[in-house]
Structure 1
Amino acid sequence: MFKSQRIKKLLASTATAAVVAGALIPTAASAATFKDVSETNVHFDAIDILSDEGIINGYSDGTFKPNNNISRGQVAKIFARMIEGEGELKEVFKDVPVTADPELVKAAYEVYTQQIMTGSNGYLKPSSNMTRQQMAKVLVEGFGLEHLEGEESIVTDLDKASPEFRDYIKILSEYGITNVEQFRPTEPVTRAQFASFLFRTLILLDEEE
């Protein structure tokens, strides 16, 4: 688990402050500033708090585009913002050369070094949509989650997941990070959904401290 000082501070300032009597409390207006994210959006609190912390960003036109699918490159950047370290302008994936977006190059280095995202055959595929089963892997690997003794997964469509991702999905279910029976492992994850999955994981880690 990459529980760096950055993560510990994040948990202290974000998850703990956001949970009172089991209810999420939005922090300073951040998601509210996104033209396309209203307070009625079920993902509002996660987007609000994580954007306030600078972990997730919107677009220059003032939108968050919550229903857009999140890309692998965007996820790499999100994790890199939570890792203590400056990253390096060094090529670790064939499709993320040092001439690419500097933030992406540094993020790719961080997630590869931490073994959060290892790519496929040397490629990160930063522009590709992240699938729900891939998301399960990065959350489990990124935060060092293991099978929870005494808990069972309620997911019933594991047969639709690639074998190498099934344990990751089970772990998310055991912890209640996902609480659905139909996980839909090969479908893409939206930006709003990823914010909620990430925030639930951060709250989980805070409760274990």
Structure 2
Amino acid sequence: EEFGVKGLVPAYLDTKTQLQDLLTGVSFASGAAGYDPLTAKTANVIPMSGQLELFKECIKKIKGAVGEERAVTIISKAIYVVCTGSNDISYTYFSTPFRRPFYDINAYAEFNARYANQFLQDLYGLGARRIGLYGLPPIGCVPSQRTIRGGKNRDCYEAENQMAIAYNTKLSGVIDSLKAVYTAPNTKLIFFDIYYPLLSIIQNPAKY
């Protein structure tokens, strides 16, 4: 809140969300979506492409409220957080028969990195300039995956962790490649690697 960020960012589709909320930040996220379009389709949620369409709708509303010039300023100075991909791994790849027979771990990471790259380019094209892309956590260590795949000791499922690492390598590369293209002074593209900090907490809880 000291930085002017809301304690809770309201959902864009929440019926209680007001026009003023659009000027100060809303969420377009849809739980269980992923970079892989099949992830959202099988979960019957809004895909990343649909979330972009909602953002376009939001931009029109902002322009209608404050005018073109101020809207461009608001959109370009806003901070955008992109955080998805866990369900691509834990559900679409490891729990359904639709991708695993056709892609190994690295190929599937590359497959989804292409979608991530296009999503970020589209977001930039709509006026976003300050974008933070979160990497994936050690998915194989979350309680559900340890219960389902970790055996009687509920160990971390290393296959999912290895895919998360592969994903993060590809996503970090996407950010690096876009930085080389989008060089305007007001552009900030950042990759947040949360994998190893979280893994350290899991493996060494006494330190924390």
Structure with bigger helix share is: 2
TM-score (norm 1): 0.24
Q: Whose relative contact order is higher, 1 or 2, with alpha carbons under 8 Å and at least 6 apart?
A: 1
Give 1 or 2 for the bigger CA radius of gyration.
2
TM-score (norm 2): 0.24
